[in-house]
């Protein structure tokens, strides 16, 4: 009669142990990412509810990180003749640009404002004149800070007015402004001006958070690998059985 036996082999055990350790490590890493992402989402959802900063308060900001995603309520004038374009921006699957316009505050200081998205065929300001607000206006916008581009992002092309990321000193220079200025820019919220375009409110405040699902997946894969290793080494001594018949 066949009897079970457990016979681990060295190399199978060695590689299985490495695989299980790696999968468990990935699971723990995803749990750490879950904690990080949860804190990030909480920050993005809480900061816009704080009192809005005024133009005077913006001008004394030396580090934008503590105030990023807070609201600013400022009064000034857009310089539409010097608008710039963040290219290769999509919205609902449609490719377009985001319009960045100098905004002169009442004290004469100018900040850059991302007014929102327009499709490629409406990049020409003449095709969206109803959205080019003139004169003194008050806007509500999110405070943003420029991030460093990763290695896949192309270099900006100031001579062609094509910007792939918010490079504040270079953009201020291209707009005829002093390169030094507040270490931030504003992103206009939706519904701040007449006309269909630009469409404001491009920053996502409610981010997807699938890290718990990923952590569970890696953990289950580690268990599956351990089970496979165990079954691979769980053998039956069937030498006493004859194929197709009873044992003799």
Domain ranges, ordered by start, for the chain: 3-43+208-237, 70-188
Residue bearing the bigger pLDDT, 150 or 86: 86
Whether the pLDDT of residue 70 is over 60: the answer is: yes
pLDDT for 239 equals: 45
Q: What is the CA angle 36-226-22, rounded to 5?
A: 35
Whether the pLDDT of residue 133 is over 60: the answer is: yes
Whether the pLDDT of residue 14 is over 80: the answer is: yes
How many Cβ atoms are within 10 Å of 30's Cβ, its own excluded?
20
Helix/strand/coil for 25: helix
For 31-46, the pLDDT digits (tens) are: 999 999 999 898 888 9
pLDDT for 237 equals: 52
For 175-219, the pLDDT digits (tens) are: 999 988 889 999 999 888 888 899 998 888 878 889 999 999 999
The mean pLDDT of 144-149, rounded to a whole number, is 86
The mean pLDDT of 224-241, rounded to a whole number, is 76
The rounded Cα 143 to chain-centroid distance in angstroms is 16
Number of H helices, E strands in the chain: 4, 8
CA distance 153 to 70: 27
CA distance 71 to 120: 28
Whether the pLDDT of residue 248 is over 80: the answer is: no
Residue bearing the bigger pLDDT, 118 or 147: 118
pLDDT for 116 equals: 93
CA distance 113 to 180: 16
At residue 3 the predicted structure's pLDDT band, cuts being 50, 70 and 90, is low
Whether the pLDDT of residue 76 is over 70: the answer is: yes
Mean pLDDT computed over every residue of the chain: 88
pLDDT for 2 equals: 56
The mean pLDDT of 149-165, rounded to a whole number, is 91
Report percent pLDDT > 90 for the chain: 61
At residue 52 the predicted structure's pLDDT band, cuts being 50, 70 and 90, is very high
From the CA atom positions of the chain, what is the Rg in Å?
29
At residue 83 the predicted structure's pLDDT band, cuts being 50, 70 and 90, is very high
Helix/strand/coil for 221: helix
CA distance 165 to 202: 14
For 85-125, the pLDDT digits (tens) are: 999 888 888 899 999 999 999 888 899 999 999 999 999 99
Residue bearing the bigger pLDDT, 53 or 238: 53
């Amino acid at each position: 009669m066949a009897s079970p036996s457990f016979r681990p082999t060295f190399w199978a055990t060695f590689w299985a142990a490495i695989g299980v350790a790696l999968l468990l490590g990935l699971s723990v890493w995803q749990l750490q990412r879950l904690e990080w992402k949860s804190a990030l989402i909480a920050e993005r959802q809480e900061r816009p509810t704080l009192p809005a900063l005024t133009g005077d308060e913006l001008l004394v900001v030396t580090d934008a990180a503590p105030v990023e995603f807070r609201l600013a309520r400022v009064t000034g004038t857009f310089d539409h003749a010097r608008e710039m374009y963040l290219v290769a921006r999509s919205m609902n699957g449609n490719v377009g640009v985001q319009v960045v316009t100098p905004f002169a505050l009442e004290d004469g200081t100018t900040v850059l404002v991302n007014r929102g998205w327009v499709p490629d065929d409406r990049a020409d300001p003449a095709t969206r004149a109803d959205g080019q607000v003139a004169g003194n206006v008050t806007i509500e916008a999110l405070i943003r800070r420029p991030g460093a581009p990763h290695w896949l992002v192309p270099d900006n092309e100031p001579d062609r007015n094509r910007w792939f990321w918010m490079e504040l000193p270079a953009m201020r220079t291209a707009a005829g402004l002093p390169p030094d200025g507040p270490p931030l820019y504003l992103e206009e919220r939706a519904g701040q001006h007449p006309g269909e375009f630009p469409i404001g409110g491009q920053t996502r405040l409610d981010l997807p958070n699938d890290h718990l699902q990923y952590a569970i997946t890696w953990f289950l894969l580690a268990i599956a690998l351990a089970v496979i290793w165990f079954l691979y080494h769980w053998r039956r001594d069937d030498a006493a059985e004859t194929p197709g018949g009873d044992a003799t």
